[in-house]
Chains A and B, each alone.
Chain A
Amino acid sequence: MLAMNYRGPKRVRIDHKPMPEIQHPEDAIIRVTRACICGSDLHLYNGNVPDTRVGTTFGHEFTGVVEEVGAEVTNVKVGDHVLVPFNIACGRCVFCKQGLFGNCHESNPQATAVGAIYGYSHTAGGYDGGQAEYVRVPYANTGPMVIPQGMDPDDAVMLTDVVPTGYQAAEMAGIQTGDTVMVFGAGPVGIMAARCAWLFGAGRVIIIDKIDYRLEFARNYAKCEAYNYEEIGDLAVFAKKQTDSLGVDVCIDAVGAEATGNAMQTITGRKLLLQAGSATALHWAINCVKKGGIVSIVGVYGPTDNLVPIGNVLNKGLTIRANQASVKRLLPRLIEHVQNGILDPKALITHRLPLEEVADGYRLFSAKLDNCIKPVLIPPSARI
């Protein structure tokens, strides 16, 4: 089968790999119909996630048709068109039972701090991902969900990560009616977080980035204010000026390790790998939020340390809430929102590429070429 093949930092290609096989009675094999490239895939692409082995296939946002199921699978059957949450979760450990499907304790032997994610290095379990023609889906009784009748497959694939992650960012932010919400990062997740902040009753939503086409997109899509941080001066002063000198109520970090905007963070976090990525957005979030405010983190960082002003967290009495999205928990509500026309996730997709052009897709997304917001890879069988 055709599959994306990681060869080293900024080097990927399409290759022929063996077909995945059922390895556990709760496994399913899925023929992929859509696979997105995620902003967090860029951390892998850039070689910033420890234990990313050459030969791995990335891809944790995908939909597909069930081709084969293990002996204990009852949730889906052969021929079902399913969307697959990016978390691999058993559904029965203490964490899954609490709805923390992103923190399953029975799917990632390599790390206790990290749940399991498709195609996201051995630090996230060592699974091959969905940027391929076929993929093994473990715990098929818990993860995959049949795509509701009539739902556009492009909407469905966005429900595997982007929508739940953006929504959970707003949910974790504990937004109260009238709150001013500042979102860092106008990538797909940041734009979705800004859109979802309104659902929780935000009074103002401000998004910060430096890419003008993305800010323009966010302004139109999320109906929010959008500012280029290179044009507004010191961000903490800007945040104070916008809020009668108090600071915003809530900050959302939707950037993570790839942040730009601070040379020291960029050099130590992204170039020298002395930190688990560049923590510029988180640094700004801590300094822009008001005393007693909430910082919600969905931007992905590596497992080691980052330089952030933790003293300000203490002195300002901040609450920090963070997690990988618990997709399974959120799906029912989010499907309602999509079906009722409240959320329009497929509008974020700007590029549809054949799977065979995966290397171009990564370059396009990484270098932000051709006004790219979200690229989707389509395998040959789904193009017929």
Chain B
Amino acid sequence: MEDNRPFENNRGTENNRNIIGWGIDADPKNDPTYPMKNRSNEEHKGYAWERPTQQPVNMEILHSIERPNVTAVFGTSVPPSGLSGMIRRLAFKRSENEYSHWLPLIIADRVNVVEGIIDDFVKGNYPNLFVEKGYKAEWKHDKLGLFGKFAILAAVTATAVVLLTRNNSNDDED
């Protein structure tokens, strides 16, 4: 049934003004360009500020080609390595403006996941998917959902096995 109720013109009620803190930071001069208006031309003459001490660059740090240097401070977590590292190095030859920068990084991330699994096995640290995927929390709070997921997984696996087995049988008969 069509809703023919008239539109409302509701700008709030006086009750709302009793909410603790109502209007305490209201500022009619809140300028949409704030705070860029505070700039001075002097400050925008490139690297005009006194740069902080440079952190020693004693590992491979990839940096955007849109800047001339490595920043004064940088993170040292997980330097690029392996095949994913090679892909990342290629990605950083292109600017942030290009898909050819970002898409290789996403591919490298996926390659890196496989590298991580191999690395775990090499170190004898076998991934415990039940723990890593937080299924303990799901077991505690949503058993039905978890059963559903495993049921779907089992069904898909069983279907795949049946299909593959059937194809193999057909091949044998041929």
Q: Chain A interface (Cβ within 8 Å of chain B)?
A: 7-13, 23-26, 47, 50-57, 72, 88, 90, 92-94, 97-100, 105-113, 116, 122-123, 125-128, 138-139, 171, 174-178, 180, 196, 198-204, 223, 240-245, 273, 294, 302-304, 319, 321, 333, 337, 341-343, 357, 359-364, 366-367, 369-370
Q: Which residues of the partner chain A approach B35 to less than 8 Å between Cβ atoms?
A: 98-100
- Cα distance A94–B45 in the bound complex, in angstroms: 9
Separation in Å of the A374 CB from the closest CB of chain B? 15
Q: Which residues of the partner chain B approach A11 to less than 8 Å between Cβ atoms?
A: 127, 129, 132-133
- Cα distance A8–B111 in the bound complex, in angstroms: 10
Interface residues of B in 105-156 (CB under 8 A from A): 105-106, 108-110, 112-113, 115-117, 120, 127-129, 131-138, 140-142, 145
Q: Which residues of the partner chain B approach A54 to less than 8 Å between Cβ atoms?
A: 78, 112-113, 115-116
* Contact, CB under 8 Å: A198 / B53: no
With a 10 A CB-CB cut-off, give which of B9, B11, B43 has the most chain A CB atoms: B11
Known: A241-B8, A304-B99, A341-B20. A127 touches B116 (CB 8 A): no
SS class, residues of chain B in contact with chain A: loop
Q: Which residues of the partner chain B approach A88 to less than 8 Å between Cβ atoms?
A: 73
Q: Which residues of the partner chain A approach B134 to less than 8 Å between Cβ atoms?
A: 12, 359-364, 366
Q: Chain B interface (Cβ within 8 Å of chain A)?
A: 7-12, 16, 19-28, 30-32, 35-36, 38-39, 43-44, 48-53, 55-56, 61-64, 66-67, 69-78, 80, 84, 88, 92, 96, 99, 102, 105-106, 108-110, 112-113, 115-117, 120, 127-129, 131-138, 140-142, 145
Residue of B nearest to A180 (CB): B11
Q: Which residues of the partner chain A approach B7 to less than 8 Å between Cβ atoms?
A: 240-241, 243-245
Known: A109-B71, A359-B131. A98 touches B115 (CB 8 A): no
Separation in Å of the B132 CB from the closest CB of chain A? 4
Q: Which residues of the partner chain A approach B19 to less than 8 Å between Cβ atoms?
A: 198, 223
SS class, residues of chain A in contact with chain B: loop
* Contact, CB under 8 Å: B11 / A171: no
* Contact, CB under 8 Å: A90 / B72: yes
* Contact, CB under 8 Å: B78 / A204: no
* Contact, CB under 8 Å: A98 / B36: yes
Q: Which residues of the partner chain A approach B78 to less than 8 Å between Cβ atoms?
A: 53-56, 122, 126
Contact partner, A92, options B50, B61, B120, Cβ 8 Å: B50
* Contact, CB under 8 Å: A204 / B12: yes
Known: A13-B132, A51-B105. A178 touches B11 (CB 8 A): yes
